[in-house]
């Protein structure tokens, strides 16, 4: 199955289909056992595989594919369940505040600016640093899981994340200052 994973990283659609067909039922059974919501489980599985395909060029080597997929899926499912729970709390809340169109535009622009700054700062990291940051903060893996996937020690992964965050903080500060001075 490792060959299938490596083929996906190279853009092989047949290998991707093989991965999907091999693990779909396991993921579905696991997700349904956790949430009991068929549609939510199916949506999360689809999202998981779309993310894998979209990020295929940046995927790291994985020795235990089923374990990797189950952990990734579990985090995705829990995030969706938490999000659904928060949305239903907001709908039920009597304190729901409606924002004006202008406020929504301002918030959206700030969010876009922040995304741009983060993307720009990420460009200053090495490929290895980008990989551990993606796995730690975007995929939600812990240091042990990242160490297993990258065949590194926990200490090495911790140091890589620390150094990457230090660089990101530096570059985001610089970008923010430049942006601030350009606005004045």
**pLDDT at position 104, please?**
62
Q: Which DSSP letter does residue 58 get?
A: G
8 Å CB contact between 77 and 44: yes
**pLDDT at position 153, please?**
92
Report whether pLDDT(110) > 70: no
**Pairwise CA distance, residues 119 & 123, whole Å:** 7
List the structure tokens of 25.
Answer: 């039922």
**pLDDT at position 138, please?**
76
Taken in order 70, 72, 75, 80, the sign of the CA dihedral is negative
Q: What is the pTM of this model?
A: 0.47
- Between the ranges 5-14, 92-101, 131-140, where is the mean pLDDT highest? 5-14
CA count, 13 A, side-chain hemisphere, 127: 5
Average pLDDT of span 12-31: 89
């Amino acid at each position: 199955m490792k060959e299938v994973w490596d083929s996906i990283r190279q853009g092989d659609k047949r290998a991707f289909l093989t991965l999907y067909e091999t693990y779909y039922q396991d993921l579905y059974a696991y997700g349904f056992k956790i949430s009991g919501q068929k549609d939510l489980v199916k949506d999360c599985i689809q999202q998981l595989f779309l993310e894998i395909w979209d990020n295929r060029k940046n995927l790291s080597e994985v020795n235990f594919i089923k374990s990797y997929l189950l952990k990734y899926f579990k985090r995705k499912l829990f995030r969706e369940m938490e999000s659904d729970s928060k949305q239903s709390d907001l709908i039920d809340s009597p304190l729901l505040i409606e924002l004006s169109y202008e406020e929504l535009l301002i918030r959206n622009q700030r969010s876009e600016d922040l995304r741009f700054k983060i993307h720009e700062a990420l460009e200053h990291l090495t490929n290895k640093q980008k990989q551990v940051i993606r796995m730690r903060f975007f995929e939600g893996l812990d240091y042990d899981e990242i160490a297993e996937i990258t065949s590194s020690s926990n200490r090495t992964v911790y140091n890589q994340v620390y150094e990457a965050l230090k660089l990101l903080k530096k570059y985001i500060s610089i970008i923010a200052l430049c942006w601030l001075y350009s606005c004045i």
